[in-house]
C-alpha cells in the first residue's frame, strides 16, 4: 500500500435505531489500486458505501479523500472532488445511445475545465464500450449495462471508483470482461473500491481486501493472507476457500 492513501476511513460508525450497522471501521485505499470489501449479507457493506458517498451521514468517525474530510459533504460535492459510484442496477437513459449516456457523465462529476468529447472517448475506451458506442442503451445485455455504468462513472473524471457488486448475475464470460475493465481502469490511474460476492474474481483482481462481519472489520490483507485467515474462513469464505485461492 502507498504511504499516502487516496481514501482513509477512520472509526466509522453508523446506527439505525438499535442496529449498529457500521462499528468503528478503519481502512485505507491506495492510489491506483483495487481494494475489495467482502463479508456475508448484513455485514454492513452497502451502508459503508452509502457513508463514503454521502447518502448517509456517519454517527462517528471520519472519511478523508486525498487528505480532505468528506464525511459531512453532500453527494454532489463528493462527486465534484473525484469520487464516483457505479451501482449494481444500471439505470441508463434507455432511448439514448451508449455514447450519449457516457457523454452525460462527462458533463458532470469532478469540477474544473474539461474537453467533453475527449473525456467521453476515454471512458468508452476504458470500459470496453467503443464497439457498441452507437447502440441504444435499452438494447444492451446485463453485462454491457454494467460496463456502461462503469463508463458513465469514469466519464465524471473520477480518481476513485466505487463499484457495487458489478459481477452479480453475470455469466463467466461477462464476469471476465468486467474484471478486465476494472484492471484497465486501475492501469489508467483510477483507484477502485469494490464490493463483490464473487470470491474467485475478488481473489484474482484485488491488491488488498477488507473483511466485514456484523458491521466490524475482522480482517484485512492481501488475497493470500485473507484466504488463510481462520476468522474469515469461519465467518464467510468456507473451509475450502484456501484451496480455491
- Report the DSSP pairing between strands 160-164 and 191-195: parallel
CA separation for the pair 158, 84 (Å, rounded): 6
- Kindly calculate the radius of gyration of the chain based on its CA atoms and give it in whole angstroms: 18
Per-residue pLDDT of the chain (245 residues; tens, 9 = 90+): 446 899 999 999 999 988 899 999 999 999 999 999 999 888 899 999 999 999 999 999 999 999 999 999 999 999 999 999 998 888 889 999 999 999 999 998 788 878 999 999 999 999 999 999 999 999 999 999 999 999 999 999 999 999 999 998 999 999 999 999 999 999 999 999 999 988 899 999 999 999 999 999 999 999 999 988 988 888 765 544 444 54
From residue 142, how far is each of 10, 23, 105, 177, 183 by CA, in Å? 35, 34, 20, 12, 20
pLDDT at 238: 54
Q: Could you tell me the domains of the chain?
A: 7-244 (3.40.50.300)
C-alpha cell at 91: 439505470
Max Cα–Cα distance, the chain, nearest Å: 52
pLDDT at 82: 95
> Residues 184, 137: contact at Cβ < 8 Å?
no
Residue whose cell numbers read 482513509: 8
pLDDT at 71: 93
CA separation for the pair 58, 189 (Å, rounded): 29
Q: H or E segment at 212?
A: strand 208-213
pLDDT at 237: 54
CA separation for the pair 95, 187 (Å, rounded): 32
pLDDT at 91: 86
> Residues 194, 206: contact at Cβ < 8 Å?
yes
From residue 9, how far is each of 63, 209, 232, 234 by CA, in Å? 5, 14, 21, 25
Amino acid at each position: 500500500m502507498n504511504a499516502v492513501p487516496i481514501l482513509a476511513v477512520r472509526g466509522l460508525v453508523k446506527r439505525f435505531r438499535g442496529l449498529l450497522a457500521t462499528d468503528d471501521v478503519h481502512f485505507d485505499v491506495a492510489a491506483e489500486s483495487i481494494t475489495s470489501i467482502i463479508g456475508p449479507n448484513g455485514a454492513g457493506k452497502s451502508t459503508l458505501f452509502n457513508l463514503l458517498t454521502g447518502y448517509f451521514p456517519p454517527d462517528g468517525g471520519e472519511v478523508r479523500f486525498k487528505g480532505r474530510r468528506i464525511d459531512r459533504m453532500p453527494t454532489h460535492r463528493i462527486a465534484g472532488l473525484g469520487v464516483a459510484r457505479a451501482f449494481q442496477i444500471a439505470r441508463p437513459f434507455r432511448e439514448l445511445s451508449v455514447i450519449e449516456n457516457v457523454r452525460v457523465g462527462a458533463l458532470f462529476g469532478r469540477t474544473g475545465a474539461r474537453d467533453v468529447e475527449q473525456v467521453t472517448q476515454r471512458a468508452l475506451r476504458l470500459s470496453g464500450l467503443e464497439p457498441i458506442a452507437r447502440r441504444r442503451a435499452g438494447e444492451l445485455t446485463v453485462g454491457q449495462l454494467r460496463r456502461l455504468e462503469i463508463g458513465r462513472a469514469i466519464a465524471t473524471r473520477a480518481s476513485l471508483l466505487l463499484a457495487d457488486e458489478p459481477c452479480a448475475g453475470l455469466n463467466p464470460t461477462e464476469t471476465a470482461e468486467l474484471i478486465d475493465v476494472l484492471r484497465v481502469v486501475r492501469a489508467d490511474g483510477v483507484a477502485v473500491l469494490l464490493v463483490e460476492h464473487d470470491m474467485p474474481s475478488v481473489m484474482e483482481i484485488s491488491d488488498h481486501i477488507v473483511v466485514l462481519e456484523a458491521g466490524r472489520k475482522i480482517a484485512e490483507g492481501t488475497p493470500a493472507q485473507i484466504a488463510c485467515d481462520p476468522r474469515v474462513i469461519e465467518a464467510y469464505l468456507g473451509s475450502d476457500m484456501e484451496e480455491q485461492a
